[in-house]
Amino acid sequence: MSETHRIINFNAGPAGLPRPALERARDELLDFDGTGISVMEHSHRGEAYGRVHDEAEALVRELAGVPDSHAVLFLQGGASQAFATVPMNFLHAGRRADYAVSGGWGEKALAEARTVGDARDVLGLDREWTRIPAEHPDGDGAAYLHITSNNTLEGTQYHRWPDAKAPLVADMSSDILSRPLDVPRFSLIYAGAQKNLGPSGVTLVIVDRAWIATARTDIPKIFRFATHAAERSLYNTPPTFGIYLLRNVLAWTRDQGGAPAMEARNRAKAALVYAAIDAAPDYYRCPAAPGSRSWMNVVFRLPTEALDARFVAAAKAQGMIGLKGHRSTGGVRASLYNAVSVDDARALADFMNDFAKREG
């Protein structure tokens, strides 16, 4: 890697983390809070880690505006595990679940739900998935309506929540805390931490306690959200160091001004990169429909695959990494999660403008 450029990390997840959160972890890695040992060497039931666990929950409640009606859980297995545990808990026999499949990850969520019970795609979009429909199904009569709030593969995002007549469930892995959140609209939100919240290996779940009480009890205890809500995520040993890092990242998020400040930053970052695309519309082609463009993952293609590859390599030589599109889609993808600064996005936009002029 270049010695002359600072690394700018556009990875899609695991992604870049705020430097202060990592420096804090480094500085106290061998001696947490004057205890003489690492936070990861403390018992999950002891006081030292207990303070971290409590602070992590308090920060989620503060930053996402989580009311007492909803439990905040730190689980394992990522969104991929929640794809299974959500229907295991809430898709009772004889009921159906509605999935608004707006991208490849939503399709995986649906496939996993079908191993559990009756689940169907209620959007019926073609598999290019270039937009979030303005007219949205409401899940009437379903056990729940599942959405993917941001599609990392296709670069689309919900900018208005659907009016749901069923409990609304959202996979928010790739945009949670990127903007203020109206938690009471949702019966369950889940998010792998590795984009906006921390390292991989922690799953944040925000879930309506009243809904938990209606869940199935004929599944293994470890997979019941009720188990973890009753034990405040200490039913079994949690990923303590991952939760500690999440705490550090959320403390940074709060210090930056919280969700409103993140929204302002993220709007500004996305505007810079989309402006570079729109300034060379014959050179950079963005498949996402204008009203559905994601602020988190800007997906585009150059005129040829060879140019995609040259773009990614030239950016890397400037210290900008993680721009190669997902192996399933190809192209270019810039992930602009919370830890990416406006200056980072500007550097990319400048590079795109130059590259289009030079190569286009």
Active site residues: 105, 171, 195
Judged by beta carbon, residue 211 or residue 241, the one nearer its own copies is 241
Inter-residue contact 39 to 52 (CB < 8 Å): yes
Q: How far is the CB of 101 from its own copies (least distance, A)?
A: 17
Judged by beta carbon, residue 69 or residue 115, the one nearer its own copies is 115
Inter-residue contact 151 to 294 (CB < 8 Å): yes
Rounded Cα–Cα distance for residues 69 and 354 (Å): 51
Judged by beta carbon, residue 45 or residue 51, the one nearer its own copies is 45
> What DSSP letter does each residue of 9-69 carry, written as one string?
E--SSS----HHHHHHHHHTSSSGGGSSS-GGGS-TTSHHHHHHHHHHHHHHHHHHT--TT
Q: What is the bridge-based pairing of β-strands 145-148 and 168-171?
A: parallel
Judged by beta carbon, residue 75 or residue 145, the one nearer its own copies is 75
Nearest to 156 by CA among 87, 206, 100: 100
Judged by beta carbon, residue 127 or residue 327, the one nearer its own copies is 327
Judged by beta carbon, residue 82 or residue 164, the one nearer its own copies is 82
Rounded Cα–Cα distance for residues 18 and 252 (Å): 7
Rounded Cα–Cα distance for residues 192 and 174 (Å): 8
Q: How far is the CB of 185 from its own copies (least distance, A)?
A: 27
Identify the bridge partners of residue 335 per DSSP, sorted by sequence position.
297
Inter-residue contact 66 to 253 (CB < 8 Å): no
Give residue 115's Cα distance to chain centre: 24
The label of the residue with tokens 């199935």 reads: 216
Inter-residue contact 183 to 155 (CB < 8 Å): no
Rounded Cα–Cα distance for residues 194 and 190 (Å): 12
The H-assigned helical ranges of the chain are: 19-27, 47-64, 78-90, 104-114, 209-212, 225-230, 240-255, 258-279, 305-317, 342-359
What does the binding site for its own copies look like in residue numbers (CB under 8 A)?
Answer: 1, 6-7, 9, 11-17, 19, 22-23, 25-26, 29-30, 34-38, 40-45, 76-81, 83-84, 88, 111-112, 115-116, 192, 194, 199-202, 218-223, 235-242, 245, 319, 321-322, 327
Rounded Cα–Cα distance for residues 236 and 251 (Å): 25
Q: How far is the CB of 349 from its own copies (least distance, A)?
A: 21
Q: How far is the CB of 342 from its own copies (least distance, A)?
A: 19
Q: How far is the CB of 80 from its own copies (least distance, A)?
A: 4
Q: How far is the CB of 208 from its own copies (least distance, A)?
A: 23
Judged by beta carbon, residue 11 or residue 214, the one nearer its own copies is 11
Inter-residue contact 118 to 141 (CB < 8 Å): no
